[in-house]
Structure 1
Amino acid sequence: MNNQWFSKIAVWLVIGLVLFTVFKQFDSHNASGAVTLGYSDFLEEVRNKNI
């Protein structure tokens, strides 16, 4: 009985850890310092030779 309880808890902990890792990956995607730039703004930067 104790072994079965431990197995269930271990499975839920692994599932929780995987979900946490996945959400953390998506959350840190925008934290890299990258700036979203529209296509028109991009073309303007190219024309001004800033890129």
Structure 2
Amino acid sequence: MIRHIAVWNVRDGSHGENLASVARVHHGFRGLRGCIPSLTHLEIGFDGSQLG
């Protein structure tokens, strides 16, 4: 089993811009389902307290 953890900061814009960035990242990762045959589990979360 291979586990990969990735972390991003999206705190460069207004609160609304940051939320939109989080949504784009979330949507992009969700799009990987079905594209990578060995991907069996995908979990995405975010810490909204730091979005400004």
Higher RCO (CA 8 Å, separation ≥ 6 residues) = 2
Bigger fraction of residues in helix: 1
**Structure with greater Cα Rg:** 1
